[in-house]
Amino acid sequence: MLYGLIVLISLGVTTAQAMPLNAVEEQPTAIALTHKQLLSFATDLINQGKFEDARKALLAKPYNDKKLEIERLYLLAQIATLENKPQEAIDIYHFILDYQPDIANIRYRLAELYLKQKDWMRAEYHYRLALSHKDTPKEVQHRIKYALYYIRKNKNWNLWFNMGIAPDNNVNNTASGEQCVMTIFGIVCNTLDEPKKDVGLNITFGGDYEFKLTDKWRLKNEFMVYNSKYDDKKYDDTYLYYTIGARYIHNKGDFFFGPTISKRYLAHKSYNYSTGFMFETNYDVTKKLNANLTLNYTPTYYDDYSDILDGNVKSARLRLFYALDSSKYFIFKTGYEYEKTKDETYTNNRINLALGFGAELPYGFHIYAEPSVVFTDYKGKRWTVKDYHFEQVKEHDTTQRYSISLSNRKISFMGFAPTLTYSYTDKSSNIWQKEYEKSLIEFSIQKRF
């Protein structure tokens, strides 16, 4: 149950401490009213611009009825909004959603405040959840659709940051075992590497900025830096990415196209670089469904083994965001990738599928779970050891991954929330030496929308 005054004071979202409680208790008119009548009375005071009197009436005492208590808190948030105290109103709205995350009107009001603060990504997230609710009035739906278009037109920069610590029980992605072959000298065997445990520290930092060219056209720049470090330096990984191009905005979405460049370092040595071209589009299919399609063509060049691995990658990826209601959503991902290399042995195509489920839970929690699978087929044959003999086979892999993450908005700082993620990966292959299992527990600090 909501504990009204006491909890709100502890959150710092009201100034009720400056008013003695007996000052309200001495007002017989307010005390004589029922809770419903008092809410109606406070609403009239708000409409008359008597915000302080309305606040005093609403802070007299909390209500035992949850529905009436939510309405009381909603009116307090309305007063804060009208008094130009947006952060106070945001805190109250979040306080309500902590206890009942599926109230579309509260999520809509929250999005409106984020929009005024030009916090584009948070505003868009809450707008989309509010829009999906079956009881959202038509006029509010039209307002939200226009707001989403307004966000697309006006957001001109974003920054994101993620830092995580991840104990990994198989950092070298291998499975121990013994492979043996029959020779004229008898059976000769060797033992494969054991799975190695290590703790990784990874940091991802990125951003984008748009220069406004016309009402609908933008020049967009985007960059990303990823770095992971381990005790064993040979697993250290650094990836740099940059793209620049034209972005066009329309009523139901946008599209972007431009060149890309990337560079990767492994074990502190240059590993490969790529230059290419991409096309990306976002489209609001319905009020519940948003689609994102990305196409890439990426020639890639390797520092070592260039005569074998140099080639290009063509890929298409589709991401669908479907809001079930104002607190729950699905994310479906699928993609196709074709990598052509100089040596046909390593030429391959991949198909990936993933279905994620996310939900805003009571008490400020957010959960997201996603099973995924990747099918990889290589075009050329390679030598491998099987049943005591060497033989040539075309590699076919299936990689399954299951992950679940949990975060809590109430302990976030400046929009960043601690997130705990567990993932399990199982790779099966017709080449048994390529199979492995691994578990990963990651504690990260990341942006929460």
pLDDT in tens, 32-62: 678 888 899 999 999 999 999 999 999 987 7
pLDDT in tens, 141-190: 999 999 999 999 998 888 888 999 989 998 988 888 888 888 888 888 88
Q: What is the pLDDT of residue 28?
A: 42
pLDDT in tens, 207-260: 999 999 999 999 999 999 999 999 999 999 999 999 999 999 999 999 999 999
Q: What is the pLDDT of residue 415?
A: 65
What would the mean pLDDT of 337-350 be, rounded to a whole number? 96
Average pLDDT value for the chain? 89
Beta-bridged to residue 335, according to DSSP, are 317, 352
Domains and CATH numbers, the chain: 4-154 (1.25.40.10), 157-447 (2.40.160.60)
